[in-house]
Amino acid sequence: MSVVIPDKILEASGLSEEELLQEIVLLLFQQQKISIGTASNLLEMNLLQFQHLIASRDICIHYNVDDLKADVATLQRLGRL
């Protein structure tokens, strides 16, 4: 699906197309609508670059107890714990 954003909105924002896309992706990530992997892919950044971007904006990586449990289980399965 493609979304067309009128030039008026782009001009009113004072942002370039790339900057507007970045702002939309950051908003979706911050609202937990998309994952960190999806967000970095949409912005064509590797994970480390995206982590630097969100750190520069004081946006926290979403990581909860369920994520921790899944990571521990993975590490146990891999024999690293």
Residue ranges of the domains in the chain? 7-77
Q: Are 52 and 26 in contact (CB under 8 A)?
A: no
Answer yes or no: is pLDDT of 35 > 90.
Answer: no
Enter the tokens of residue 50: 């995206």
The DSSP code for 34 is S
Question: How many percent of the chain have pLDDT more than 90?
Answer: 56
Question: How many percent of the chain have pLDDT more than 70?
Answer: 100
Reported pTM: 0.76
Dihedrals phi, psi of 64, to nearest 5 degrees: -120, -175
Q: What is the pLDDT, as a whole number, of residue 3?
A: 87
Number of alpha carbons in the 13 Å side-chain half-sphere of residue 1:
1
Q: Are 41 and 34 in contact (CB under 8 A)?
A: no
Q: What is the mean pLDDT of residues 41-64?
A: 92
Over the stretch 17-32, which tens digit does the pLDDT of each residue have?
A: 999 999 999 999 999 8
